[in-house]
Amino acid sequence: MTTNRIAHVCPDLPLSLTEAGSGRPVLVLHGGGGPATVAGLAARLAESAHTVTPVHPGWDGTPRPDWLTRLDDLAVAYLHLLQDNEWSDVLVIGSSLGGHLAAEMAIRDTGGLITGLVLINAVGADIAGEQVTDFFALDPRAQAEHSWHDPDRFYVDPAGLPAAELARRQANMATMRLLTDGGRMTDPRLLPRLGRARQPALVIWGESDRIVTPAYGAAYAKAFPQGRFEPIPEAGHLPHLERPDVTAELIEEELRRTATPPVTGGLRPL
């Protein structure tokens, strides 16, 4: 069963959530393309876990308070969400910008609520010699060429889109620009801090990504004390859309591998 609800982590910050399934909590964080890009992955994982998929404030017409202007503001808000719901042993999955958010959450998780990370073609790390492509500087066709292994399959000509859909996409991009300091997809403070992350981190990467290359992904994984890099052939920036089964199987394995064993035993009867 899938439910939608609003969670207020602050009086003026309502978070729109979609929840499904039962079991270990899995927080699924979308990238700049919005929640639709991870909906299929969340539905698949809901067969064996309790998936929670938020819409980042400002995406798809959701409200964003004036004070929420940085990604780390949002990372703290999502940690508050975990605390308020008393979720523990949480696996956090982040795609692209969502991967940056997941990493920011992990290094701030002093309560040990997060016990596993999955980063899918994540941005955020400032890695020497590996520049993140300026997505905002590309025209729609070039965006597709950089993002997909098979761009002809996924490219959508914006000239054929309804006005409402164009406005939604433009508003989403405006919010992403705001939260990334004008479109900067890296933060020089992040990489040195990843060594403090205590969680196992599975870093999944579409090998054909030209926004953030596999070499960038391998370096990202190496920065975690327990990082593991898994490339996916014939996939670009969103491998969970181009190779959904392969991506989901890797995550399902990580879901099982990083789960905290249940506490057993108790008081001996009198």
Produce one character per residue of 19-58: b if its CB has 16 or more CB atoms within 10 Å, e if not.
bbbeebbbbbbbbbbbbebbeebbbbbbeebbbbbbbbbb
Tokens of 109: 């998780």
Per-residue tokens: 253: 């394995």
Domains of the chain: residue spans and CATH: 2-256 (3.40.50.1820)
pLDDT of residue 262: 65
Encode the chain (270 residues) as per-residue pLDDT tens digits: 899 999 999 999 999 999 999 999 999 999 999 999 999 999 999 999 999 999 999 999 999 999 999 999 999 999 999 999 999 999 999 999 999 999 999 999 999 999 999 999 999 999 999 999 999 999 999 999 999 999 999 999 999 999 999 999 999 999 999 999 999 999 999 999 999 999 999 999 999 999 999 999 999 999 999 999 999 999 999 999 999 999 999 999 999 999 987 655 544 333
Instruction: Name the pTM for this structure.
Output: 0.95
What local confidence, expressed as pLDDT, does residue 162 receive?
Answer: 97
Classify residue 1 by burial, with Cβ atoms within 10 Å: 0-12, 13-18, 19+. exposed
